[in-house]
Amino acid sequence: MYHFFVLKEQIRPHEIIITGGDVNHIRSVLRMKPGEKIGISDGEEKEYCCEIVHIAGDQVRARILSEEKDSRELPARLYLFQGLPKSDKMELIIQKAVELGVYQVIPVVTRRTIVKLDSKKEEARIKRWNTIAESAAKQSGRGIIPQVTEVMTFDKALALAETFQVKIIPFEHAVGMADTKRELERIRPGTDAGFFIGPEGGFEEEEIVRAEGAGVKAVSLGRRILRTETAGLMVLSVAGYLLETERENICCCSGRSAHLLH
């Protein structure tokens, strides 16, 4: 089932009006017809199963068949602080991070960042990055569209994560996986967790010291050196796995309790 996002004001008591670029996509690219079913999210908390009833002009009308509070989102908010990489690696990172459940992607300038963006280039690049995030959110059936923020300095990124319950920074000189396991297992439902990933060349030791001074834990991701486009996705994958497992365990326990009560 194809998936689309709308604003809350587009949602009526019994139908949803789709406007903008999605109209042409539905009509000309997907060649959908009245009677076909689609999924629609309000970008916050609700998911609707709808049936297209009319396609004309600049809008698509879809009848609401059912609605439910979105359950596809991870129960914790995962923030990826990504050191700006070269070429189009950021686009790949954003696409895959959204698929893996990231809540927000924050591009970060560090000491070893090679890419330099002027204000005009930065504005255009961020717009494109958010378009990629929206496309990935639709493809993966997300209930929200994760935001790609403005480019931040390393110090500003550390300040943004000040109140997060879990903050880690993979570093090639960190030893052992015990700390990594312990920190990732602290990401529970309701947690805000920040992952700081360096650009090509990684972080300088002085940046690691500043991060640790701000409460960020330096951890190892194993004995191999991972590329910048791999490290963040590895951490998101493990965190997502642990959160999904936790949710399934809670659901199973709830189901057993209900069964025993009967």
pLDDT profile of the chain (262 residues), mean per 10? 87 91 91 91 81 92 84 90 93 97 97 86 93 94 92 96 97 90 94 96 94 96 93 96 78 45 40
pLDDT for res 258: 40
Q: Are 166 and 189 in contact (CB under 8 A)?
A: no
pLDDT for res 5: 87
**Structural domains in the chain plus CATH codes:** 3-69 (2.40.240.20), 77-248 (3.40.1280.10)
Q: Map tokens 């009245």 to a residue.
A: 34
Q: Are 177 and 124 in contact (CB under 8 A)?
A: no
pLDDT for res 43: 76
pTM: 0.81
pLDDT for res 247: 65
Q: How far apart are the C-alpha atoms of 150 and 84, rounded to whole Å?
A: 12
Output phi, psi for 50, to 5 deg. -130, 160
pLDDT for res 240: 95
pLDDT for res 175: 84
pLDDT for res 248: 66
pLDDT for res 119: 82
pLDDT for res 261: 42
Instruction: Please give the single-letter amino acid code of residue 27.
Output: R
